[in-house]
C-alpha cells in the first residue's frame, strides 16, 4: 500500500490518491492503528473537498464518520464534530444510517459541556434509530441522555433512562450495560442507598472486567465507582486501593491518547518527507513539460498568424476590386433609372388618381354586400356565429374589442346581441336569426344593459352605435 500511495502521488491523479488513502486507512483501522488511519482519512477528506467529489455519497459518509469516531477517541472533540457534521449532511442510505454518527456528535458536545447541543443531537440519533427499528441503538442513546442528566445531577430524570438502557442491552450489548450500571450505582450512592450501590458496582465491575475485548475506559469507571462507595462506607483501605488503581489506569489511558496524537504527527512528517521528494520531481517534470508546450504553442501561433495575414491581404485586394466594379455598375444604373423615372412621372400621377377612385367605389360596394350578408345570416350554430363575426368585423373593425374593454366579463351571447343591435335589427329579426323567442331577446337585452351599467335615461341602441 505504501508503494501504491507513492505511485498515486507521483501520477498526480487525485482520484487515485483518494482511493489509496482510504484503502490504507481502512487497513490501519482493522489492524488497530487508529493514528495512522486518522492521518490518511484526513488526507482523503482534504482531497475530496478540493475535488468537489459528489459521487459515492455512502463512501464519503463512512470516511467522515470514521474520522469523527477516531478524533472523538483522541479527545479532539471540536474536530470530531466538524467531520461528523460533514458526514451527516450527506444523503442517508440503508447501508450506512446516521444513528452512530449522530450519537457521537451528542457525546462530543457533552464532553465540551454544551448540553443543549448534546441533547439536540441525541434526539436526532434516537429518531433515526426509531425510523430504522433499531432497538439497541434506541437504548444506547437513552443511556447517553441519562448520563448527561447524571452529570448535571438531575438524578430523577437520569435514572429511568439509564435503567431503560441497561434492560435493553444486557442481553445484546453486555459491555455497554455494565458501564451503564456504574452510573446507576453512583446515583444510588448520592441518594444514600449505599448497599444497593455496592451491589450494582460489583456487578458492573464483573461485567466490564471479564468482557473481551476489554474496554479500559469502562474498567476505569468501575474502579472509580468502587472507590467512591468504599469511601462512603468508611472502608478507607479499600477506597484507597481502588482509587489508586483508578488513577494509574486513568493516567495510562490519557498517555495513550497523547501517544496517538504524537503518532499522527510522526506519520504526517514521514508522509510529507516522502511526498516532498516526489513533488520536487513532479515539479521539475511539470516545468520541463510546460516549457516544451510553450515553445510549441509559440511556433503554432506564429504559423497561424502568418496564414491569417496572407488570407487577409488576399481578401482585401479581392474586396477592393469588387467594390470598384460595384460602384461603376451602381452609377450607370442610377443614371438609367433617373431617365426612366422622369419620363414616367406624369403618367404615374394620373394612374394613381384613377386607382384611388376605383378603390373607393369597390369599398362602398363591398360594405353594402357585407351588411346585406349580415342581415341575411342565420346564427344557429357556433360555425354560423364565426362566419357572421368574420363578416361583421370587416364591416365594423374594432367594435367587438372595444366592447370587451368596456365590459370585460361580457358573454358571447351578449356580444352577439350587441352586434345585431349595431345593425339596427328589431327583436323579431334577431329572434329569427338566432332561432329563439322574442321574450328571450328582450331578456338578453336587459342583461346587456346591466352588463354595460347604463343609466336609465341612456338608450341601449344609441350607446352601442356610439362605440367606435
pLDDT of residue 352: 46
The sign of the torsion formed by the CA atoms of 7, 10, 11, 12 equals positive
Contact 199, 182 (CB under 8 A): no
Residue 335 and residue 330: Cα distance in Å, rounded? 9
Contact 433, 378 (CB under 8 A): yes
Backbone conformation region of residue 213, classed left if phi is above 0, alpha if psi is from -120 to 50, else beta: beta
Q: How many residues does the chain have?
A: 468
Contact 53, 34 (CB under 8 A): no
Q: What single DSSP character describes residue 211?
A: S
CA 32 to chain centre: 38
Label residue 32 by pLDDT band (50, 70, 90): confident
Q: What is the pLDDT of residues 253-288, one digit of tens each?
A: 888 877 766 666 666 666 666 556 655 655 665 677
180 or 382: which leads in pLDDT: 180
Q: Write 447-456 long-range contacts (CB < 8 A, 24+).
A: 447/414, 448/414, 448/417, 448/418, 451/407, 451/409, 451/410, 451/411, 451/414, 452/406, 452/407, 453/407
Residue 347 and residue 345: Cα distance in Å, rounded? 6
Label residue 373 by pLDDT band (50, 70, 90): low
pLDDT of residue 317: 81
Contact 166, 202 (CB under 8 A): no
Up-side HSE of residue 229: CA atoms within 13 Å toward CB?
Answer: 26
Q: What is the pLDDT of residues 312-321, one digit of tens each?
A: 888 888 888 8
Question: Closest Cα partner for 239 from 252, 251, 249, 224?
Answer: 224
The residues near 220 (Cβ < 8 Å, ≥ 6 apart) are 246, 249, 250, 253
450 or 264: which leads in pLDDT: 450
pTM: 0.52
- The mean of the pLDDT values for the chain is 81
With 70 as the cut, is the pLDDT of residue 169 above it? Answer: yes
Number of Cβ atoms within 10 Å of the Cβ of 312: 10
pLDDT of residue 377: 53
Label residue 14 by pLDDT band (50, 70, 90): confident
Which runs of consecutive H residues, i.e. helices, occur in 52-173? 57-73, 77-88, 99-111, 115-131, 135-151, 155-169
Residue 106 and residue 323: Cα distance in Å, rounded? 83
pLDDT of residue 267: 64
pLDDT of residue 247: 93
The residues near 425 (Cβ < 8 Å, ≥ 6 apart) are 375, 433
List of domains in the chain: 372-466 (1.10.10)
Contact 197, 229 (CB under 8 A): yes
Interhelix angle for 2-11 vs 236-375, to 10°?
Answer: 40
Q: What is the pLDDT of residues 191-208, one digit of tens each?
A: 999 999 999 999 999 999
With 70 as the cut, is the pLDDT of residue 388 above it? Answer: yes
Label residue 141 by pLDDT band (50, 70, 90): very high
Residue 58, all three cell numbers: 455512502
Residue 235, all three cell numbers: 472502608
Label residue 150 by pLDDT band (50, 70, 90): very high
Contact 72, 104 (CB under 8 A): yes
Q: What dihedral angle (degrees, nearest 10) is formed by the CA atoms of 329, 333, 334, 339?
A: 150
Contact 129, 169 (CB under 8 A): no
pLDDT of residue 152: 93
Once rounded to an integer, what is the mean pLDDT over residues 454-459?
Answer: 86
- Is the backbone peptide bond immediately before 213 cis, with ω within 30 degrees of 0? yes
Geometric angle at alpha carbon 132, from 154 and 125, rounded to 5°: 35
Once rounded to an integer, what is the mean pLDDT over residues 393-410?
Answer: 85
With 50 as the cut, is the pLDDT of residue 350 above it? Answer: no
What stretch of H or E contains 429?
helix 427-434
Residue 18 and residue 347: Cα distance in Å, rounded? 90
What stretch of H or E contains 341?
helix 236-375
Residue 105 and residue 87: Cα distance in Å, rounded? 11
Contact 14, 47 (CB under 8 A): yes
What stretch of H or E contains 56?
none
Amino acid at each position: 500500500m505504501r508503494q501504491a500511495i507513492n505511485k498515486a502521488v507521483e501520477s498526480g491523479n487525485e482520484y487515485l490518491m483518494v482511493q489509496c488513502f482510504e484503502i490504507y486507512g481502512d487497513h490501519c483501522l482493522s489492524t488497530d492503528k487508529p493514528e495512522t488511519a486518522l492521518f490518511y482519512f484526513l488526507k482523503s477528506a482534504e482531497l475530496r473537498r478540493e475535488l468537489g467529489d459528489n459521487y459515492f455519497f455512502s463512501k464519503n459518509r463512512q470516511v467522515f464518520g470514521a474520522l469523527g469516531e477516531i478524533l472523538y477517541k483522541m479527545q479532539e472533540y471540536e474536530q470530531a464534530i466538524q467531520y461528523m457534521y460533514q458526514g451527516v449532511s450527506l444523503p442517508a442510505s440503508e447501508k450506512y444510517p446516521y444513528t452512530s454518527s449522530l450519537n457521537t456528535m451528542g457525546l462530543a458536545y457533552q464532553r465540551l459541556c454544551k448540553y443543549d447541543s448534546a441533547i439536540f443531537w441525541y434526539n436526532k440519533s434516537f429518531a433515526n434509530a426509531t425510523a430504522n427499528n433499531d432497538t439497541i441503538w434506541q437504548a444506547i442513546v437513552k443511556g447517553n441522555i441519562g448520563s448527561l442528566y447524571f452529570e448535571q445531577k438531575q438524578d430523577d430524570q437520569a435514572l429511568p433512562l439509564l435503567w431503560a438502557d441497561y434492560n435493553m442491552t444486557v442481553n445484546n450489548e453486555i459491555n455497554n450495560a455494565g458501564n451503564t450500571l456504574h452510573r446507576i450505582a453512583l446515583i444510588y450512592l448520592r441518594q444514600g442507598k449505599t448497599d444497593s450501590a455496592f451491589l450494582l458496582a460489583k456487578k458492573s465491575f464483573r461485567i466490564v472486567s471479564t468482557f473481551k475485548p476489554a474496554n479500559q475506559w469502562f474498567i476505569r469507571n468501575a474502579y472509580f465507582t468502587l472507590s467512591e462507595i468504599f469511601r462512603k462506607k468508611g472502608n478507607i483501605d479499600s477506597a484507597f486501593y481502588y482509587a489508586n488503581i483508578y488513577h494509574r489506569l486513568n493516567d495510562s489511558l490519557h498517555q495513550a491518547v497523547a501517544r496517538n496524537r504524537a503518532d499522527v504527527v510522526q506519520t504526517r512528517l514521514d508522509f510529507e518527507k516522502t511526498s516532498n521528494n516526489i513533488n520536487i520531481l513532479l515539479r521539475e517534470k511539470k516545468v520541463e513539460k510546460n516549457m516544451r508546450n510553450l515553445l510549441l504553442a509559440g511556433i503554432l501561433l506564429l504559423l497561424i498568424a502568418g496564414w491569417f495575414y496572407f488570407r487577409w491581404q488576399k481578401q482585401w485586394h479581392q474586396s477592393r476590386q469588387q467594390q470598384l466594379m460595384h460602384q461603376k455598375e451602381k452609377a450607370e444604373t442610377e443614371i438609367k433609372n433617373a431617365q426612366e423615372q422622369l419620363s414616367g412621372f406624369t403618367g404615374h400621377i394620373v394612374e394613381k388618381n384613377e386607382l384611388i377612385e376605383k378603390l373607393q367605389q369597390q369599398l362602398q360596394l363591398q360594405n353594402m354586400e357585407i351588411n346585406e350578408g349580415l342581415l341575411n345570416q342565420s346564427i344557429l350554430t357556433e360555425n354560423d356565429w364565426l362566419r357572421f363575426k368574420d363578416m361583421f368585423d370587416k364591416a365594423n373593425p374594432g367594435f367587438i374589442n372595444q366592447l370587451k374593454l368596456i365590459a370585460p366579463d361580457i358573454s358571447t351571447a351578449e356580444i352577439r346581441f350587441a352586434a345585431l343591435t349595431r345593425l339596427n335589427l328589431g327583436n323579431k329579426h334577431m329572434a329569427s336569426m338566432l332561432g329563439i323567442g322574442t321574450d328571450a331577446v328582450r331578456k338578453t337585452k336587459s342583461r346587456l344593459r346591466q352588463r354595460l351599467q347604463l343609466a336609465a335615461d341612456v338608450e341601449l341602441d344609441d350607446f352601442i352605435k356610439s362605440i367606435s
